[in-house]
Amino acid sequence: MPQADNLTLRHMAGTDALIGQTISHYRIVERLGGGGMGVVYKAQDTRLERFVALKFLPENLAQDKNAMERFRREAKTASALNHPNICTIHDIGEHENGAFIAMECLNGVTLMSLVRNQPMELERVLRISSELADALGATHEKNIIHRDLKPGNIFILESGQAKILDFGLAKICSSADEANDYATLTLTQAGVVMGTLPYMSPEQLQGLRVDHRTDIFSLGAVLYEMATGQQPFPGTSSMEISAAILRDSPKAVREVRAELPEALQEIVDRCLAKEPSARYPSAAEFRDSVERLRLEISSGIRRNASATASAGPSIAVLPFTNMSTDPENEFFADGIAEEIINALTQIEDLRVAARTSTFSFKGRNVDLRIVGDRLNIKTVLEGSVRRAGDLAG
C-alpha cells in the first residue's frame, strides 16, 4: 500500500492510539492514510523482519456486516492474484481493533498525485497503460473485475513501475445463472452504485450488469487523464458528471494536447465507447494497441495518408445531418451515425475512424477528400435523416 504523499495524513499519525502497539505480530509504526473502506498503517512484521502495510476497517464500519463482508472479500480476491503490477496481499487477521489485511508496503506516490492538471510525457503514459492492462488481464483471466480503477488506486513506485491497489469493489464473475451474477450488489447499501466518478462506465453508473469491459472503460478514462491532465468527463456536480458519462463524448485528446498522435485518440475512443461491445474485447488487445503505438514512436514511424492507405481498408462515418424541422431529431441523427460506427468496429481488419475525430466535422461544410486526408481514411460515409412527417405535402 502507498506511503503517505500528503502532509495532512502524516500529521494525523501523532494522535493515533494504535501507534506503537503490536497487533498479532505486527508493530504499528505510523499511520499512512485512509479511505472509505479502510485505514492504513505502516507496520513492522516482527517474524519476517520486514515492513508491511496494515489496512483496518474503520471503527464506524466495524460493526457493519456488509462492510465486513466487502473487507474480507477484498483480501480473498486480491490474495488470489500474483502479478508484478498488483499490490501483494500477505495476510489477513482480526483483532479487538477490527479486521485487517497485511500487504506489501510500497515506496512511491499515487498516480493521482502525479496527474493533477498536468499531462504526463507520452512514453510514460503508454508504459503505465501497458502495465495496467497486463494487471487487468491477469485479474480478468481469474474472472475478477476491479470495478474501481482510478488514479487514486494506482501506485507508481520509485522505480516507475505501476501497481494496482484496492480490490475492495472487485466482483468475481460466475458462469452460473444471472441471479448469482448480481449477488455481490447486495454487499453495498441499497441505491448506492459501486465505483468512483468520473471513472465509472455507463452500465456501471446505471446499475446494470457489468463484465471485464467496465474496467476497459475506466482504463481509458485513466489513460485520457494521464495524456491530457484533464478528466474526460468533467463537471461541478455528480449529476453533471453522470450525465456526461452517459451522453457526451470527451473533448478530443489532440484538441487538448495537439502533439498527441491520432492513434492515441483511437485507443481512447474505443475504450470510452458507451456500448461495451464497441470497446476492446480484452485488456490484452488494448495492450497490443498501446505497444504498437510505443513501437511506432520509438522507431520514429509516423502514420501518414499514404502509409495508412496501404495498410488496408478504412472508413470514417461523419455525423448525419438533421434534415427535419424538429431540432430534437439532432440526437436521433447522431445516434444513427454512432450505431453505424459501433457496428463497423466489429468488422475484422477494417480501421474505423474514432467518433471524436469524425464528430469534430459536425456542422462544417468540408470537402470529403479533405476529411479523408486529415483522418488518413480511404472511405468517408455521410448521410442525412428526415422525419417521414416532414415529407407531407
Q: What is the DSSP secondary-structure string of 175-230?
A: SS-HHHHTGGGGGS-TTPPPS-TTS--HHHHTT----THHHHHHHHHHHHHHHHSS
- Of 62, 83, 104, the one marking the end of a domain is 104
Q: What letter would DSSP give residue 274?
A: S
- In 221-372, which ranges are E strands? 314-317, 321-322, 351-352
Report yes or no: 3 and 42 within 8 Å, Cβ to Cβ: yes
Mean pLDDT of 13-28: 81
Q: Which tens digits make up the pLDDT trace of 188-204?
A: 333 345 568 889 999 99
- Percent of the chain clearing pLDDT 90 (strictly above): 46
> Is pLDDT of 335 > 90?
no
Is 232 in the same domain as 347? Answer: no
Q: Is residue 278 part of a domain?
A: yes
Is 116 in the same domain as 258? Answer: yes
User: Rounded to an integer, what distance in angstroms lies between the CA atom of residue 172 and that of residue 175?
Assistant: 10
- Of 77, 104, 131, the one marking the end of a domain is 104
Q: Would you place residue 391 in the very low, low, confident or very high pLDDT band (cuts 50, 70, 90)?
A: very low
Q: Is residue 164 part of a domain?
A: yes
Is 15 in the same domain as 75? Answer: yes
Q: Which tens digits make up the pLDDT trace of 4-19?
A: 343 233 333 344 788 9
Write the Ramachandran bin of 19: left for phi over 0, alpha for psi from -120 to 50, otherwise beta.
beta
Is 290 in the same domain as 142? Answer: yes
pLDDT score at 200: 95
pLDDT score at 282: 94
Q: Is residue 2 part of a domain?
A: no
- Percent of the chain clearing pLDDT 70 (strictly above): 80
Report yes or no: 242 and 233 within 8 Å, Cβ to Cβ: no
Domain extent, residue 195, equals 109-298
CATH number at residue 44: 3.30.200.20
Beta-carbon contacts of residue 39 (< 8 Å; ≥ 6 apart): 31, 33, 55, 56, 57, 58
Report yes or no: 210 and 193 within 8 Å, Cβ to Cβ: no
Is 150 in the same domain as 264? Answer: yes
Is 65 in the same domain as 150? Answer: no
Average pLDDT score, the chain: 81
> Is pLDDT of 353 > 90?
no
Q: How many CA within 13 A on the CB side of residue 184?
A: 25
User: Rounded to an integer, what distance in angstroms lies between the CA atom of residue 38 and that of residue 2?
Assistant: 13
pLDDT score at 388: 66
Q: Which tens digits make up the pLDDT trace of 149-189?
A: 999 999 999 999 999 988 766 777 654 433 333 333 323 33
Q: Which tens digits make up the pLDDT trace of 232-249?
A: 999 999 999 999 999 999
Q: What letter would DSSP give residue 2?
A: B
User: Is 134 tagged catalytic?
Assistant: no
pLDDT score at 239: 93
Q: Is residue 64 part of a domain?
A: yes
Report yes or no: 287 and 130 within 8 Å, Cβ to Cβ: yes
Is 327 in the same domain as 184? Answer: no
Is 147 in the same domain as 251? Answer: yes
Beta-carbon contacts of residue 27 (< 8 Å; ≥ 6 apart): 20, 21, 43, 44, 46
Is 174 in the same domain as 239? Answer: yes
Q: Which tens digits make up the pLDDT trace of 266-314?
A: 999 999 999 999 999 999 999 999 999 998 888 775 444 344 444 578 8
Q: How far is CA 92 from CA 54, 60, 75, 107, 354, in A?
A: 9, 20, 7, 21, 46
More confident residue, 359 or 133: 133
pLDDT score at 355: 78
Any long-range contacts for 348-352 (C-beta under 8 Å, 24+ apart)? 349/312, 349/313, 350/312, 350/313, 350/314, 350/315, 351/308, 351/311, 351/312, 351/313, 351/314, 351/315, 351/377, 352/314, 352/315, 352/316, 352/317
Q: Is residue 1 part of a domain?
A: no
User: Rounded to an integer, what distance in angstroms lies between the CA atom of residue 122 and that of residue 320?
Assistant: 34
Is 222 in the same domain as 201? Answer: yes
- In 134-189, which ranges are E strands? 144-145, 154-157, 162-164, 171-172
pLDDT score at 361: 76
pLDDT score at 70: 74
Closest by CA to 372, choosing from 326, 308, 293, 295, is 308
Q: Is residue 325 part of a domain?
A: yes
> Is pLDDT of 28 > 90?
yes
Q: Is residue 287 part of a domain?
A: yes
Rounded to the nearest 10°, the torsion over CA 301, 304, 307, 308 is: 120
pLDDT score at 349: 80
Q: Which tens digits make up the pLDDT trace of 61-113?
A: 667 777 777 777 767 777 888 899 999 888 888 777 578 889 999 999 999 99
Number of domains in the chain: 3
> Is pLDDT of 387 > 90?
no
Query: Which of 148, 166, 215, 334 is an active site residue?
Result: 148
Maximum mean pLDDT: which of 23-32, 34-43, 168-177, 343-352: 23-32
User: What are the grid coordinates assigned to 319, written together?
Assistant: 455525423
pLDDT score at 337: 86
- Of 104, 138, 169, the one marking the end of a domain is 104
CATH number at residue 210: 1.10.510.10
Is 311 in the same domain as 223? Answer: no
Structural element, H or E, at residue 91:
strand 89-95
Is 95 in the same domain as 114? Answer: no
Q: In terms of residues, how long is the chain?
A: 393
